[in-house]
């Protein structure tokens, strides 16, 4: 998911994207059978294992801002009785972590069709922007090569907390080679959710539509479900979902708690 950052947010985002080197862990000290590995943020964990991120207060603030907006559309968690001493208090924006952010996303999916999920994300993205932002974006960034390359460069620091390590790459758009592509090395959102439907309905399609239709800057996202990487191409008009290879993608039977292993295509892509 994406939102147009304000100037101060850009400064914060650049700082949030700074990685800290992880301490070296010898193989004999690693926990056997663990599903999470510690590593430097620029070196994602192998497929089937989860990368461990060291989120600071700034990253958690971004998670909290997005999650709070999304909670409006999420099904409610069961709460303890009012008199219970363990009753959950409302979280401060910096108290969120990535797992709870993903949990809110999952609860937004519950009871909604594919189109309703995508519309909910669109409303969340619009709520993150000041009034008139899409119109101003269209004026500042008409669909030129420069605008595509600038937004690709902006994506790298601003999206790191959401999708993990990224880098700008050269891609071909309408027969022209340009540096308007972004390679997400292993998507943090897909890695933590393990859900094909969440990737497509809560990230890929809404983000493509938001940039293409609200901002007037075409964007195509091509997730690779074999290694959880993803390629973002600014300037390329996305195909209809029915013509997109992701529409035929089955579930991750060993990773997704909502999966239907017997289905040839993830049911969340058909609802």
pLDDT digits (tens, 9 = 90+) for 231-245: 999 999 999 999 999
136 or 43, which is more confident? Answer: 136
| Residue 37 binned pLDDT confidence (cut-offs 50, 70, 90) | very low
pLDDT at 58 over 90: no
Q: Which residues, 6+ apart, have CB-to-CB distance to 264 below 8 Å?
A: 250
| Residue 212 binned pLDDT confidence (cut-offs 50, 70, 90) | very high
pLDDT at 246 over 80: yes
Whose structure tokens read 């601003």?
A: 158
85, part of any domain: no
Domain count, the chain: 1
pLDDT at 167 over 50: yes
Q: How far is CA 160 from the centre of its chain?
A: 9
28, part of any domain: no
Segment 139-148 mean pLDDT: 96
Segment 44-53 mean pLDDT: 84
C-alpha pair distances (Å), 54 with each of 41, 58, 164, 180, 191:
8, 11, 11, 28, 16
Segment 164-175 mean pLDDT: 96
C-alpha pair distances (Å), 114 with each of 4, 121, 241:
24, 11, 11
pLDDT at 219 over 60: yes
User: What's the DSSP call for residue 18?
Assistant: -
Strands (DSSP E) found in the chain: 36-38, 50-52, 166-173, 176-184, 219-224, 229-234
pLDDT at 119: 95
From the number of C-beta atoms within 10 Å of its C-beta (0-12, 13-18, 19+), residue 76 rates as exposed
Segment 176-204 mean pLDDT: 96
181, part of any domain: yes
Segment 64-86 mean pLDDT: 75
SS3 state of residue 253: coil
Structure tokens at 174: 């309408």
Model confidence, pTM = 0.79
Q: Over the chain, what is the mean pLDDT? A: 82
Decide: 153 and 170 in contact? Cβ < 8 Å.
no
Helix/strand/coil (H, E, C) string of 175-219? Answer: CEEEEEEEEECCCHHHHHHCCHHHHHHHHHHHHHHHHHHHCCCCE
Whose structure tokens read 């620029």?
A: 42
72, part of any domain: yes
Give the model confidence (pLDDT) of 78-134 as tens digits. 655 555 555 556 667 667 889 999 999 999 998 899 999 999 999 999 999 999 999
pLDDT at 49: 81
pLDDT at 89: 62
12, part of any domain: yes
CA pair distance 158, 165, nearest whole angstrom:
11
pLDDT at 253: 85
pLDDT at 96: 81
141, part of any domain: yes
Q: What percentage of the chain exceeds 70 in pLDDT?
A: 78
Segment 144-157 mean pLDDT: 96
The greatest distance separating any two alpha carbons of the chain, rounded to the nearest whole angstrom, comes to 65
* Domain with 231 in it: 7-23+35-78+90-269
pLDDT at 75: 87
């Amino acid at each position: 998911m994406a939102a147009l950052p304000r100037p101060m947010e850009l400064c914060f985002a650049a700082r949030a994207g700074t990685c800290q080197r992880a301490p070296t862990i010898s193989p004999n000290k690693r926990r056997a059978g663990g599903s999470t590995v510690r590593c430097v943020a620029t070196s994602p964990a192998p497929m089937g294992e989860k990368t461990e991120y060291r989120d600071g207060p700034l990253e958690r603030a971004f998670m909290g801002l997005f999650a709070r907006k999304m909670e409006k559309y999420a099904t409610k968690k069961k709460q303890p009785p009012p008199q219970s001493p363990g009753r959950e208090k409302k979280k401060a924006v910096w108290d969120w972590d990535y797992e709870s952010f993903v949990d809110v996303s999952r609860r937004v999916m519950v009871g909604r069709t594919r189109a309703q999920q995508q519309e909910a994300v669109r409303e969340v993205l619009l709520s993150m922007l000041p009034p008139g932002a899409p119109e101003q974006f269209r004026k500042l960034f008409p669909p030129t090569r420069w605008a595509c390359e600038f937004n690709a460069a902006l994506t790298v620091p601003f999206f790191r907390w959401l999708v993990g390590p990224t880098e700008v790459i050269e891609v071909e758009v309408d027969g022209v080679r340009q540096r308007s592509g972004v390679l997400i090395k292993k998507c943090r959102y897909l890695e933590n959710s393990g859900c094909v439907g969440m990737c497509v309905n809560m990230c890929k399609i809404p983000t493509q539509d938001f940039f293409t239709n609200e901002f007037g800057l075409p964007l195509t996202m091509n997730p690779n479900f074999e290694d959880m990487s993803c390629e973002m191409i600014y300037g390329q008009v996305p195909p209809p979902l029915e013509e997109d290879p992701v529409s035929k993608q089955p579930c991750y039977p060993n990773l997704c708690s909502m999966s239907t292993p017997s289905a040839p295509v993830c049911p969340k892509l058909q609802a």
